[in-house]
Structure 1
Amino acid sequence: MSQVLVEVLPNIQACYMYITLPSNNVFYQKISVGQSECSIELQDGRVILLKMSKGTYLVPNSATGVTQAANILTVRVQISERTSLISSLSGDILSDSSTKFLDTLLNTSLSDTLVSAHCKKCPNCVFTKVKFRRVMPLPSVDWDHSSENWFCHLHGEHGQKLKPASLQPQHDECFYTELYFLMHNSMMECINAKCDDGMLKCSGCGTLLGENTDLLVKIWALNLKWLTQQGEVIYDRNSSEILLSLFHSIDKDNFGVNCQLVLEVQTVPKKYMYMVTMNTNQKLLVSDVSNLTSCEPVVQKLCLEDKDISLKKIYAIKLLYLIKEGEDSQTGQWVDDIGVHIIPCSSLFFHEVKTMLENSTYFLPDNVKVIENMNIGYIVK
């Protein structure tokens, strides 16, 4: 089956269709647009019929700007005023509804009850029958970095005296953010993991689980699945859900300003991924949602047979991103800018987000994947 991605732009009453043809040697001959479908006739006689999802209506015979680069066909088609209205209303409703962010019920579901945690890469049980007296969310995932700005007008020891003590859990407490769980160092007695120079690794598969210091244990949320004693899942989030949670938490305080977020990995040299949102409710029509959400390299599989393609409607965050290795004046500006949220993360999370963003535009022509020096990416809601 040919791969299709349609970006709906209700503000200009148009959509851009990107159709991946079966091979580089296949060329289109004619494109016909109806109210709810688009037909692509190929020079070899085959026909690809795209069926729009409910609520998306095209203006018949409105295909313009048709280009083909290699085996990717780009077509601009007008959408009806009714589609623009439906898309705008749906986007507003989606903004007001709950997105997939971190469930604050962890405050109750993880506290005062026996729970276990398993590595998500293998069957190894990391925590067995632990009980927390109190489970609380930290103010934000970048609380430590943001709090430095509260004292930027003070200098030296005077500022240090006024700074509050770090938020550190007691031996029977667990604090959490979208990215990690923070526990007292005494929890090391309950962890089934190897500790190598402060790095905690799964004793089963060797996956990096978190970090250990003299005072604290930090476990990356991406690597854990929390269960009740009856085996009911309390917490199990993938990288896409965690990233959506980060954007949701930051965006709700931005008052309409584009959200700027930097993922930072403490490797040598450091790695950075700068992201800025373009549209938090981008409507897409796709032939295969899995390609946009996968954290594994995409393997392109196209069928040479004629087939009708029914497109599925989804909403996504459209963003620009830039990956840098090492520190320079640009990364220094990100760190100093109070509008940019610096988020320390694990290497695994960084890698999965990078792969997911690359996959999300895999079937776009190269000339639309980049704006100036930044890459385009989608995060499916």
Structure 2
Amino acid sequence: EVNPLLCVPSEADAPSSPLDVSVAADCLEARSGESCKAVSLPAEVRLAPSSCRGLRRVPGDGLHLRVGLRRPPPSADLVFTLRESLKPQKNYVFYCQSCGDIIVKDRKFLRVLPLPSENWSALVEEWCCHPNPFARSTLHPRHDDCFLGDTFFLLNSGNESRKSKENTRVICKRCKTTLGETVSSDTIKYYITEVIIQPSEGNFSTPPRSQFVQSMVAQCLVELSSAKSTFRFTIKGDDGKIYILVWLLNSDTLLVESLGSSSSHSVFTLFGDIFMPSSGTVGTWNAVKVLYQPCIKSRNKDLADAWERDIGAHPLTFPSETCLELLLILGLSTTSLPPSLRCMNSFQVRNSCNFLEV
């Protein structure tokens, strides 16, 4: 059982007639005169009416109250990760996420191996009492290999090289979206936010871009925070610039969205988010909650420099265009929250969709 904060939007001015709020196990209603705003919760989510407390009206927000909530624990296999989806001895097709064009067709891997962390070479120097034996070594995949990094995977290019003429970027032939970059003459790095990987025998469908980006980034945050006890991240572009500072608060947030019902025909949304998967009038999604600071146009430069020097902050690199997309997603989500809940200690608050199967 958890004790969440519920926010019920209301008019900017105090209602002229008394406002009655009723809480039942499966719904919440707010009545004022002839107007009624109601939310019906999904079957798996139930409120504990007797635990309701802290009811107050916050100017600009509406009504705030805390009430106990019960729901089944999330399944352990809900988290979709790239490391778990790719298996040796199976055929896969790689698609451009933006347009669905096939990038790599029917590739079978003999080995699917995780890469060490991005700073592994520096760590070797700290632990070795003699010159770094790997100083001149590079980790490049053979033709039947797939190497997995935090935000990318490496493939032997074979005949699939799509190197652009201007630089080392790898672009989609159809939509010209940046997919990755060439690492060497025979190795291509593809970013996980730009490519969808499906078994050859599976059906392919392209999820909405915003859902896919935030889902893949959220999965990176959850996986790295669990594996390395890291909760601060610098989101960097492939141009080397820091675009966003992200602080992971928790990975067990539950978002409930409802269009509700209203006798005055106004739309009511609880924890509304235009980037959530659409599943009718009500739905729930597991999500991560993060604090973030934008760093474009030299904003928060001192803080970004401090995080970059701090070994406790983990860097995540994506195409620069994707970093800007992510910043837009974060900003729009923040504006969907009540004004009083949008900031915490100068950081902005964001609930991000986490588990999206593709």
What aligned pairs does 1:1-381 form with structure 2 within 5 A after superposition?
Answer: 10=2, 13=3, 15-21=4-10, 27=15, 29=17, 30-36=19-25, 37-42=27-32, 45-53=34-42, 54-59=45-50, 62=53, 64-69=55-60, 72-79=61-68, 83=69, 86=70, 90=72, 93-94=73-74, 96-108=76-88, 110=90, 113=91, 115-139=92-116, 143-152=117-126, 159-161=131-133, 163=135, 165-177=137-149, 179-184=151-156, 186-187=157-158, 189-191=159-161, 194-215=164-185, 216-230=187-201, 232-233=203-204, 238-254=212-228, 259-267=231-239, 270-287=241-258, 292=273, 294=275, 312-325=283-296, 326=298, 328-381=301-354
TM-score by length of 2: 0.76
Say whether the 8 Å CA contact 2:95–2:104 is kept in structure 1: yes
Provide the rounded CA distance (Å) in 1 between the counterparts of 2:288 and 2:160: 39
Q: Which blocks of at least 5 consecutive residues in structure 2 are unaligned? A: 260-269
Report SS of the residue matched to 2:24.
coil
Q: CA RMSD in A?
A: 3.7
**Cα separation, 2, equivalents of 1:293 and 1:136:** 36
One-letter code aligned to 2:312: G
Following TM superposition, by how much is the alpha carbon of 1:211 offset from its aligned partner in structure 2, in angstroms?
0.7
Aligned to 1:319, what secondary structure does the other structure show? strand
* Rounded Cα–Cα distance in structure 1 between residues aligned with 2:14 and 2:247: 37
Identity across aligned pairs (percent)?
16
CA distance in 2, matches of 1:346, 1:68: 40
SS of corresponding position for 1:57: strand
Shift of the alpha carbon at 1:370? 0.7
TM-aligned CA distance change 1:52 to 1:135, over 3 Å: closer
The number of equivalent residue pairs is 332
- Report if aligned partners of 2:28, 2:40 keep a CA contact under 8 Å in 1: yes
Structure 1 spans left out of the alignment, 5+ residues: 1-8, 297-308
Name the structure where helix makes up a greater proportion of residues: 1
Provide TM-score, normalisation by structure 1: 0.72
Equivalent position SS for 2:219: helix
Change (3 A) 1:193 1:28: farther
The alpha carbon displacement at 1:218 in A equals: 0.9
Following superposition, the deviation at residue 212 of structure 1 comes to 1.3
Query: Which AA in structure 2 matches 1:124?
Result: D
Structure 1 residue 131: Cα displacement? 4.4
Deviations 1:216-248 (A, max 9, x none): 311122222334554545998922331232123
- For 2:227 and 2:107, the matched residues in 1 are separated by 35
Paired residue type of 2:251:
T
